[in-house]
């Protein structure tokens, strides 16, 4: 083979190898970026779904409290009230399920505490209707603040004093 032909062949082959390597590297970087964006999307969607459940729970508790003040202690034992509270617990369960998709362990831990405090009313014998709703309302408020900060990209807020006391009470009972 002539030298010019051989040099041309080697140059062409070298260019093809470099081009293919560049294409592979570019594809790998692009797939990595797409994967990171997809995970970020899942994370934000899960956090938004959890936040929506807590906002709706807070609204339902507020409306219920306005329509049925907790002064009647017998009401707290009624089936109507228990059904209402179980519906609230289902919202907390939906929030808890949504946070499983969030890859931030500190956030998940904080929101698991929200779930525990919010659903503790089921295990609190003698807690009256107003107290039961206060526990759930406190949990919903705490979770809303945490998720709001997370979605804004802010640092997670410190635990509120009232919520910390409730969480401590839950830990002592366990």
The mean pLDDT of 91-105, rounded to a whole number, is 90
More confident residue, 70 or 145: 145
Does residue 17 surpass a pLDDT of 90?
Answer: no
Q: pLDDT above 70 covers what percent of the chain? A: 78
Quote the pTM value. Answer: 0.73
**pLDDT tens, position by position, 126-172:** 556 677 788 889 999 999 999 999 999 999 999 999 999 988 888 88
Tell me the average pLDDT across 72-91: 81
| 71-93: average pLDDT | 81
* CA-to-CA dists, residue 128 to 65, 70, 78, 103, angstroms: 13, 8, 11, 37
The stretch 28-42 carries a mean pLDDT of 76
**DSSP states of 76-140:** GGSHHHHHHHHHHHHHHHHHHHHGGG---HHHHHHHHHHHHHHHGGGG-TT--HHHHHHHHHHHH
Task: Return the C-alpha torsion angle 77, 79, 83, 84, nearest 10.
Answer: -60
pLDDT value at 78 more than 90: no
What pLDDT band is residue 83 in, cutting at 50, 70 and 90? confident
Q: What is the pLDDT of residue 143?
A: 95
Q: Are 135 and 124 in contact (CB under 8 A)?
A: yes
Higher pLDDT, 115 or 4: 115
Residue 123 has pLDDT above 70, yes or no: no
* 109 confidence band (pLDDT: 50, 70, 90): very high
How far is it, in rounded angstroms, from Cα 88 to Cα 82?
10
**Nearest-angstrom CA–CA distance, 85 and 54:** 14
Other CB atoms closer than 10 Å to residue 152's CB: what's the count? 8
| Predicted pLDDT at 20 | 65
């Amino acid at each position: 083979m002539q030298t010019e032909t051989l040099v041309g062949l080697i140059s062409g082959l070298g260019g093809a190898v470099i081009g293919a390597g560049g294409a592979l590297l570019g594809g790998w970087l692009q797939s990595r970026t797409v994967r990171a964006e997809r995970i970020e999307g899942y994370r934000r969607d899960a956090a938004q779904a959890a936040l929506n459940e807590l906002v709706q729970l807070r609204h339902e508790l507020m409306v219920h409290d306005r329509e049925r003040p907790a002064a009647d202690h017998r009401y707290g034992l009624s089936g109507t009230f228990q059904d209402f509270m179980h519906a609230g617990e289902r919202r907390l369960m939906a929030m808890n399920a949504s946070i499983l998709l969030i890859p931030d362990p500190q956030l998940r831990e904080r929101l698991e505490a929200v779930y525990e405090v919010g659903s503790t009313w089921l295990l609190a014998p003698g807690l009256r209707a107003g107290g039961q709703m206060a526990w759930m309302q406190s949990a919903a408020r705490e979770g809303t603040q945490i998720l709001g900060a997370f979605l804004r990209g802010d640092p997670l807020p410190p635990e509120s004093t009232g919520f910390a006391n409730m969480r401590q009470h839950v830990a002592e009972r366990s």
